[in-house]
Amino acid sequence: MAPNRRYAPPIFALLAVLLASPAPAAAPASGADSRLAAQFRKADADGDGKLSHAEAGRAAPGWAARFDAIDADRDGKISPEEIRAWRRAGKDGRKSAVATKFDQLFDRADADGDGALTRGEAQTGLPRVAAKFERIDKNGDGRLTREEMRAWLAAKRAARTGK
């Protein structure tokens, strides 16, 4: 036998075994995905892989409250894929509620409605912000814009969570 043909039978045998064996299992789901899957299975009373509004209402009230926003295909049922897509899109309501609350507080403190807070407006409307005025006012113009406030809040949140 020629030297290069000597290894052909074992290689073909190995290739045949690899092709005949089942594919390796997918990587395990992330913590959030496995929690979602467990919660979904618990809520899916009829086991059809989708939740009706009634099933969501009984076992997952948070999903039930946002059912129409999650039900992307408008079939009257929600699937785990729709929930994941809704979460990825940031449509869980919590972020928008926080942003809305921030805007309400900022607008209430912005007495002259110019879109920025002076030190006096901050002292009157947001005294805790006024105590940190210089740290928040990055450009030093004596006015706090929404962007400066959001950047400061984001930096605080990042420092607290380590992200």
- Please give the model's pTM, rounded to 2 decimal places: 0.43
Show me where the domains of the chain are located: 32-88, 94-161
Which CATH topology does 32-88 take? Answer: Recoverin; domain 1 (1.10.238)
Same fold yes or no, 32-88 and 94-161: yes
Residue 55: CB atoms within 10 Å: 21
Superfamily of domain 94-161, CATH level 4: EF-hand (1.10.238.10)
Write the pLDDT tens digit of every residue in 28-77: 445 667 888 888 999 999 999 999 999 998 888 888 888 888 888 889 99
Total number of residues shown for the chain: 163
Write the pLDDT tens digit of every residue in 134-147: 999 999 999 999 89
Q: Hey, what are 76's tokens?
A: 């009257």
